[in-house]
A and B are shown apart, each in its own frame.
Chain A
Amino acid sequence: MIKTDLLVVGAGPAGMAASISAAKNGINVILLEENERVGGQLIKQTHRFFGSQKEHAGIRGIHIAEDLKKEIESYKNIELMLSATLMGIYEDGIFTVLKDDKMIKIKPEKTIMATGAFEKYLLFENNDLPGIYGAGAVQTLMNINGVLPAKKVLMIGSGNIGLIVSYQLMQAGVEIAGVIEASNKIGGYMVHAAKLKRLGVPIYTSHTIEKAIGNERVEGALLHKLDSNWNKIEGSEFEIDCDCICLAVGLSPLTDILFQSGCAVKYLPELGGYVPYRDEHLETSIKGLYVAGDVSGIEEATGAMVEGEIAGLHVAGTLKQDDKIFERIKEMKEELRSLRAGPVGHKIREGLSKLYDEIYVEEDEFPEVYDIEFFRKTGTPSEENLKAVMPDEERLNKGPVAVTECFQRIPCDPCVYSCPYNAIKPFEDMNELPEVIFEKCIGCGICVGKCPGLAIFVLNKNYSETTSTVTLPYEFLPKPAKESIVDVLDRSGAKICEGKIIRILDGKAQDKTSIVTVEVPKEFYNQARNIKVVL
């Protein structure tokens, strides 16, 4: 039997953060991972993360995973056990683990469960056909194995996962037949939706899937429209061609082992399903048994890492009786509060208040600044939205200037730190919207490549007598060549004109988000927002 101070189950973002924060404070940790590699879902995330600059924001998920892995390997007091599956938690505090077909017994002082989540399923005819995959499976095939899951994918669900995975599929060269959303509003962040729309991907709100078509594998799907009461509108059925249906309809916490341990749980749809009761330090109804990350309620990876750190610190603080550690916990709790404080955090706030049997009052600390109803229905910002962030004629005529097409309050602040001229007003809280100080902005375009939502553009209205330039982020292959002529697309992905590539920044600093400047006829400076390389 192996004895240790802390056993962490699951080496995803929460488990890794928990192990590091405990190990840093002298705690001996055993970190269990059922896969042969650490990183959890992070290793499939090719996009830059939102959140606060202090907590990995602006960095791609794959790189956060590498950084955390290196940090874990640097601690001698973290023993990493890969390909090891936790089988049971026993009343005498013994945990049994299956590794290399052998059973190992571990007796820890404290345990942090960071087992993550599992993909939800959706009911429709033929939903068991090969070719119907969870979004995580599609990401595994494409971003870990480098294997295309299909040629043409229909995405079900417009939450962040549905939107992000659709974008990633396009990057891998897969066509998206459409994104289907049963609600009348897009569920995920507007910046992710806008990215997809600029590629010409149709987003069907108030639509659902009725049936998968095919015998041995998916060959298409039958869809229909929903009315405001979520009922089918008769006669609205239509077929769509696809060879894969990707389900991104939410996640459920992987709480099976917590049930087995006898830990108190509660069913809360806002948090994704059954979640364990826990106190503010993530300790469950069983003393010494903590949770962190998606297993405690479905949230973004950034929140998972902060929760992991809080749990890890609380274990260290309790075992070491060190007040300094409790001070750090206070800071992390404030970070977590801020992450959840905006409009997009209301579901988690509602779920948590129900968990503690409190009455939930829907009150955003940071109410939306703009009316984004049109944006949420269509995936493209309204004319009013766009007008609100556009500099006046005088400034536009002066020379290049950055425009932030960021209209929804999400916890994200890397743009502020990206500007070497301090031309983006500092935030007091990460849920604020960016505000460009036009007098300070020189239109250098550094922020264009740093915005995780790819929502910043630089406009130079008077590039010549008859032309303007637009500087935009570009993450696709092939990259455009300088001086080449490309198709120029608007915010809905429609071709509006041709343009000439004036400049392309593609160095190490850009980290594969190229910053492309395209010259367009003057009348298109406010419409040109994407390019398509013509071969």
Chain B
Amino acid sequence: MRIEQHPILDFKRGNKIHFTFDGKEVFGYEGETISAALHASDIVKLSESFRTHRPRGLFCAIGHCSSCLMTVDGIPNVRICVTNVKDGMIVESQKPRGGIV
């Protein structure tokens, strides 16, 4: 869910854009991260751990913990918490470790 009214902050959002998450269409706004757009659509399970396949979500949101690595436009291991969403982007949850492109 997005915050529409806030007692202290004003949010200036960019143009509305669309991208896909595991084939499903999701919308976001220019200037926000992929993780923010996914959370706004209540998508919190981003991928799975590569050995035991436990669900993985966001943790640090500053690009340091590697919990949110996903495949974006075919490139594996993208830190979606520090990567901005773009129109037409293909975002996929990453089950294996991510191979060489």
- A interface vs B, CB < 8 Å? 34-36, 46, 60, 62, 118-119, 128-134, 136-137, 140-149, 171-173, 215-217, 254, 475-477, 479, 512
Contact = CB atoms under 8 A, between A and B. Distances in A.
Given A35-B82, A134-B61, A141-B39, A146 B3 contact: yes
B74 interface: no
B60 A118 contact: yes
Interface string B1-27: 111011111010100000000000000
B81 interface: yes
Given A146-B2, A173-B3, 9 more contacts: A35-B62, A62-B9, A130-B56, A137-B60, A144-B36, A145-B33, A145-B39, A145-B40, A477-B7
6 contacts: A132-B59, A133-B57, A136-B62, A145-B40, A146-B3, A148-B1
B46 interface: yes
Contacts of A36: 84
Contacts of B35: 141
B60 A134 contact: yes
Nearest to A116: B62
Given A46-B9, A171-B7, A512-B8, A137 B58 contact: yes
Contact of A148 (B3, B8, B58, B62): B3
A35 B40 CA distance: 21
With most chain A CB atoms within 10 A of its CB, the pick from B13, B45, B46, B81 is B45
B8 A171 contact: yes
Given A141-B39, A146-B2, A216-B45, A476 B7 contact: yes
With most chain B CB atoms within 10 A of its CB, the pick from A119, A130, A476 is A130
Nearest to B43: A130
B44 A145 contact: no
A325 B77 CA distance: 47
Nearest to B6: A172
B98 interface: no
A147 B33 CA distance: 11
B62 to A, nearest CB: 6
B36 to A, nearest CB: 4
Nearest to B35: A141
With most chain B CB atoms within 10 A of its CB, the pick from A132, A134, A147, A479 is A147
Contacts of B67: 128
Nearest to B61: A137
B54 interface: yes
Contacts of A476: 7
A130 B9 contact: no
A171 B61 contact: no
A172 to B, nearest CB: 5
B64 interface: yes
Contacts of A147: 1-3, 32, 36, 39-40
Contact of A132 (B5, B39, B57, B82): B57
B62 A128 contact: no
Nearest to A134: B60
Nearest to A47: B8
B96 interface: no
A145 B40 CA distance: 9
Interface string B28-70: 0000110110011000111001000011111111111101000
B49 to A, nearest CB: 7
A377 B62 CA distance: 33
A137 B59 contact: yes
A207 to B, nearest CB: 23
A149 B6 contact: no
B2 A477 contact: no
Nearest to A119: B60
A512 B7 contact: yes
A475 B8 contact: yes
Contacts of A215: 55
Contacts of B54: 128
Contacts of A142: 3
A130 B55 contact: yes
A512 B8 CA distance: 6
A30 B9 CA distance: 31
B57 to A, nearest CB: 3
Contacts of B49: 128
Contact of B45 (A130, A133, A134, A143): A130
B70 to A, nearest CB: 13
Contacts of A172: 3, 6
A233 to B, nearest CB: 30
A260 to B, nearest CB: 15
Nearest to A83: B82
Contact of A143 (B1, B9, B40): B9
Contacts of A254: 64
Contacts of B32: 145, 147
Nearest to A140: B61
A146 B40 CA distance: 9
A144 B36 CA distance: 9
Contacts of A136: 60-62
B64 A118 contact: yes
B2 A130 contact: no
Nearest to A173: B3
Given A147-B39, A147-B40, A217-B44, A130 B6 contact: no
A35 B83 CA distance: 10
Which 5 pairs between the two chains have the least Cβ-Cβ distance?
A130-B57, A137-B61, A146-B11, A145-B36, A140-B61
A62 B64 CA distance: 23
Nearest to A35: B82
A137 B61 CA distance: 5
Contacts of B33: 145
Contacts of B6: 146, 171-172, 477
A132 B35 CA distance: 14
